[in-house]
A and B are shown apart, each in its own frame.
Chain A
Amino acid sequence: MPRAKFQTLTEQMFYILLCLKDECYGLDILDKVPSMTAGRVNVGSGTLYNLLEQFLDAQIIRETKVEGRRRTYILTEKGKDMLKKEYERINAQVTDYKNIFEKEEIV
């Protein structure tokens, strides 16, 4: 089944949005994500470019500054809500995992 657009976020989407909690240059996200995840997650340049465009269209982020071709972005309220929902979804998964495996350990 294809994933409904932005209903759940992929790992890369999640980290890109996380980088944009504070104002940030698009290009800097390419370095921020690997350093944030100790190199576990890398975002491709084409993927980042396309996702930023889609996030802008969906009003998940907004442009704050345009200096020539360098643009800075920040999360909108909608983006913050989306990130929070994703956080809650991941937390729910963790709780479900613990419920299953911790029960086994007790038994």
Chain B
Amino acid sequence: MIKRKRRIETFSFFDHTGICKHLEKMAVKGWMIERLTNFGWIYRRIEPKNIKFEISYYPKASEFDPEPSDDQKTFHEFCAHTGWKLACTCAQLQIFYNELENPIPIETEPTLEVQTIHASAKKSFIPAYILLLILSVLQCFFLVSGLLGDPIDTLSNTAKLFSTVCFFILLIICTVELCCYFSWYGKAKRRQSKVSFINRQAHLFYRKLSLLL
């Protein structure tokens, strides 16, 4: 019997509601999240059961931290006090699970939760995606200027064409991710309440398409 499995998931880093629902479904099927890596998510086999998952963002954490800081461990202790056990972390994202039937949520002040998510986004997600966006725009700009200056040379260079296609896909991914994030953030801030991250169906389709490309 397979004890561990790796799956490529199409979730945005900040799709906390979608990730939780997915992990709850996986637990019912007997798979518990163990680790989030750049090459897929790793699950371990467990007894199938209903478990509640919650995602909390810890803005001070970084993916370069060798281990959680003392402050972060204090945060984990607070969560453990209400039955939330840490499943795994990935930079600022922390996945907790709770086996109680009606646990007290980790975040009970939606306004504060939105602030925390945005603080985490400002630290890693937004600057990284903006940088990638600038790089892809530059690459596309170089291709267009090449086409205008010397079209034969540009179109005969397969390496240049291939890299431009890759950067063009990256441009679309970054634009959609940033737009989705800011649209969610604006909506959550206006409503002063916890709202689902994004339109799941449309976003899932886009994520699968970009993965395929």
Contact = CB atoms under 8 A, between A and B. Distances in A.
If over half of B's interface residues share one DSSP class (helix, strand or loop), that class is named, otherwise mixed; here it is helix
Contacts, number: 63
A56 B78 CA distance: 17
Given A10-B109, A47-B109, A42 B104 contact: yes
Given A12-B108, A51-B109, A46 B192 contact: no
Contacts of B116: 46, 50
B82 A44 contact: yes
A79 interface: no
Given A44-B82, A45-B82, A47-B106, A69 B112 contact: no
B82 A69 contact: no
B111 interface: yes
A56 B142 CA distance: 51
Contacts of A50: 112, 116
Contacts of B73: 69
Which of B73, B82, B84, B106: most chain A CB closer than 10 A? Answer: B82
B78 A30 contact: yes
A44 B104 contact: yes
Between A42, A46, A49, the greatest number of chain B beta carbons within 10 A of the residue's beta carbon is seen for A46
A43 B78 CA distance: 11
Interface string A35-71: 0000000111111111100000000000000000101
A51 B109 CA distance: 10
A32 to B, nearest CB: 12
Nearest to A34: B104
A26 B92 CA distance: 22
Interface residues of B, number: 23
A12 B104 CA distance: 13
Interface of B: 56, 70, 73-75, 77-79, 81-82, 84, 104-109, 111-113, 116, 189, 192
B56 A69 contact: no
Contacts of A71: 74
B75 A44 contact: no
Contact of B111 (A3, A44, A45): A3
A45 B109 contact: no
14 contacts: A3-B111, A10-B109, A27-B77, A30-B82, A42-B104, A44-B104, A45-B75, A45-B104, A46-B75, A47-B107, A47-B108, A47-B109, A50-B112, A69-B73
Nearest to A26: B78
Contacts of B74: 26, 49, 69, 71
A36 to B, nearest CB: 15
A24 to B, nearest CB: 14
